[in-house]
Structure 1
Amino acid sequence: SCTKHEVCDEAFTLGKLSCEGKTKLVYDINSTTPGRCLIVSKDTITAGNGAKKNIMEGKAEMSTSTNASAMQILNDVGIKTSFIKFVSVFRTFAWKCHMIPIEWVIRRVATGSFIRRNVGVKEGYRFAPPKLETFFKDDENDDPQWGREVLEEAKLKCGDIEITSHLIDMMEKMSVTIFEVMEKAWQTKDVSLIDMKIEFGIRCDTNEVILADVIDNDSWRIWPSGDKRLMKDKQVYRNLKTITNNDMKNLKENYSWVSEQLGEVAESFRDQTKSTTVAIFMGSPKDMAHCNSIKASCSDLGVNCTLHVSSNGLGPVISGNTVLPVINCPPPSPQWCTADIWSSLRLPSGLGCATLLDPQAAALCSAQILAQRNPAVWARLRVKQMKNFLDLKQSNAELK
């Protein structure tokens, strides 16, 4: 597939204009892969549901690049999105979706419309966990805020799918996870993600709920070093009473900076998964299948592994000769629950070697240790938590 900086030469023909928004156009396409559409960004910047509108030369390219970087980060850590690949400097392929007409706003810090709607909450109030709000997409009525109860009672239908409380639960969990992953990504540049808005859709060919939005510099508030005065997002444009050529120049510089910085973050996320390593020591080659199970689980979490054969009594001996964390994961045997396990649990004083019996648990524990310093591994773990929740919700729904 094409990287975000390459022009895709895949053959396709442009179909009809499917829909047009304030900042993008969506076209049907004819190609060898069905179920896709073409998203074309515009050089348009707007505010107030289109009441304020300007042309910013180069915005389409910068927005497309920013979106490609954001989607690369999210796709790499396991979030399902509509984004497929970069086609040109202002065009991308995406999966066709029935859009859910709800804007999900996730906030870490109280500012903007939130403090205007919630008198008494001071700007800067920090939400932990993030605050989630929903707004019905209706330009004529300024996108009214909908509470959970209103959203459930609306019984919205997208394609053939009704938006039930079960799907709302899923989107709530996905929204917060997506925010926290992007927040962690921006933290690597000492940039605070203050809030962001996203939308979901029902993928037309699979009926899955996926992130079906463009994430660019219009989608969030970001404050370098947590300082509102240094904001680089569209709020700078919203705040302008009149717009001069110099203002447009500054706005373009902001959008260019965001595109470049997030591009670096996306590549560093991929590099970080290459830089983490778990060394797996086995007593003999007979333990290879057990160790390969640990290795496979580590790989799913973006952690590299090396395999080594040494000798018995590995855990305590290695723990006594390193300051690195050591995890015992003894292979199962007939003596597993009697004698063998105690050799790993009864350790001499001065040793801090943990013991886990399940290979997946050992891999997970290793990843959690590495995640303290590795944002990419942290993000994969956060998405794994989300998927565990979604799988349980789905299993429960299928019983009804």
Structure 2
Amino acid sequence: MEGEGAQSEDYVLIRSKDQLTAFNAARKNVLEGKAQIANRTTVNVFKLLTDIGVPSHFVTGVSGSEFIAKHCEMIPIEWVARRIATGSFLKRNPGVPQGYRFDEPKIETFFKDDANDDPQYSDEQILCSNFEFNGVKIGKTEINLMKRMTSVIFKVLERCWGKHCCSLVDMKVEYGVTTKGEIVLADVIDNDSWRVWPLGNRGLQLDKQFYRDMKEVTPEGLQQLTSNYEKVMEITAKFSTPSSCRALIIMGSPSDQAHCDKIASSCRSLGIKPIIRVSSAHKTTHETLNIVAEYDDDETPTVVIAVAGRSNGLGPVIAGNFTLPVINCPPLTEDNMTSDVWSSLRMPSGLGCSTVIGADEAALCAAKVSFPATEIEE
């Protein structure tokens, strides 16, 4: 992989190569087609992360083996997230068995120094290095930010791999500082960046470790490796498939339109398709039930957000007649908060509908209900 100056000093062209290395380049091979496979994998992953709001240097893919990125000064630290103990971790931590599973991703940092085999660095070592890039000093706040981002990125990709019956065992990422002083995910994320085990079986590994484990590099082995890389590219292409989840936002009165618009906007930012309808459960009960029935007869995950103040009959009526999850989000103000909220809190038994105050919180609650297998992170 190499970077080339683009038309602006704020952007660069990142080009992947067909070269494959291991053991600090002690083993080298040319893998025909690897450049395009690696680049497409990276683009697939960065598109997903961009969609969910992870700040990165990625701008757009431009060819089979190239993408445009924001120009960054790279922070010379590799951030490694591990779910399962294997590889070098076992050597550095004797007594930990192969396959030990960390409840939270284990985050480790390594200083990029090929001559010294990329030594492990502590937070204190990073702090005492007095790193500064594009005017940004790397202190405790910056370290914690990158640590948090690494954990979130790992969890998101772990969920994506899990949907394809594969375990994301560990992965490495790097960060850079843009010309505007923003810390962003940088470099590439391709099949050399992680360990991926189909069905949790190490013997079926799809990643670069297959190459490292070869006692002797053979044409047959490289052919199998190419096949593995292509499979990873194909799977990651499905990571950014748009969600079909939706939120049916029903307001009891047109006067609540502004509140519903805020909920809808927040839903969109979380990847949920909002649908806004108007119907009063008190005055047009049959119509209300018919509206909900329209969205209750298919397989699209749906959450109902009921927007009604004063005497809230909307949420309870819907919850009592459908199995769809219902969230009450009354349009409260300082003037009516203490009087109107109770109709959304004191519900008959057996309904199971919840009440959330605030448009953003209602959308976030809907996201957590809609995406039970997805990490929702701030």
Residue in 1 that maps onto 2:6: 29
Residue in 2 that maps onto 1:331: 331
Alpha-carbon distance in structure 1 between the residues aligned to 2:219 and 2:264: 56
Q: Secondary structure at the match of 1:223?
A: strand
Q: Secondary structure at the match of 2:99?
A: coil
Moved more, 348-357 or 111-120: 348-357
1:369 matches 2:369: yes
Q: 2:271 aligns with which of 275, 299, 302?
A: 302
Residue in 2 that maps onto 1:198: 173
Q: How far is 1:107 from its partner?
A: 0.4
> Which protein has the bigger helix share?
1
What pairs up with 1:164-183 in 2 under 5 angstroms?
164-183=139-158
- TM-score when scaled to structure 2? 0.89
Alpha-carbon distance in structure 2 between the residues aligned to 1:302 and 1:128: 27
Alpha-carbon distance in structure 2 between the residues aligned to 1:251 and 1:322: 51
Q: How far is 1:149 from its partner?
A: 1.4
Alpha-carbon distance in structure 2 between the residues aligned to 1:180 and 1:117: 24
What pairs up with 1:1-400 in 2 under 5 angstroms?
24-30=1-7, 34-204=9-179, 206-266=180-240, 268=241, 270=242, 272=243, 275-311=244-280, 312=282, 313-332=313-332, 336-372=336-372, 375=373, 378-379=374-375, 381-382=376-377, 384=378
Could you report, residue by residue, the CA deviation over 1:51-97 in whole angstroms, capped at 9, with x for unpaired residues?
Answer: 11111000001000110101011111111111111111111111110
Kept in 2: contact 1:188–1:265 (CA 8 A):
no
- Backbone CA RMSD of aligned residues: 1.4
- TM-score when scaled to structure 1? 0.84
Kept in 1: contact 2:9–2:71 (CA 8 A):
no
Q: How far is 1:333 from its partner?
A: 5.3
Alpha-carbon distance in structure 2 between the residues aligned to 1:117 and 1:350: 54
Paired letter, 1:200: Y
Identify unmatched segments of 5+ residues in structure 1. 1-23, 385-400
TM-aligned CA distance change 1:29 to 1:337, over 3 Å: closer
Alpha-carbon distance in structure 1 between the residues aligned to 2:361 and 2:2: 46
Paired letter, 1:323: T
Q: Secondary structure at the match of 1:121?
A: coil
Could you report, residue by residue, the CA deviation over 1:251-304 in whole angstroms, capped at 9, with x for unpaired residues?
Answer: 1111111111111223x2x2x2xx111111111111111111111111111111
Alpha-carbon distance in structure 1 between the residues aligned to 2:364 and 2:324: 16
Q: How far is 1:34 from its partner?
A: 4.8
Alpha-carbon distance in structure 2 between the residues aligned to 1:120 and 1:338: 58
Q: How far is 1:166 from its partner?
A: 1.3
Identify unmatched segments of 5+ residues in structure 2. 283-312
Paired letter, 2:110: F
Paired letter, 1:252: T
Residue in 2 that maps onto 1:15: none
Task: Determine what percentage of the aligned residue pairs are the same residue.
Answer: 46
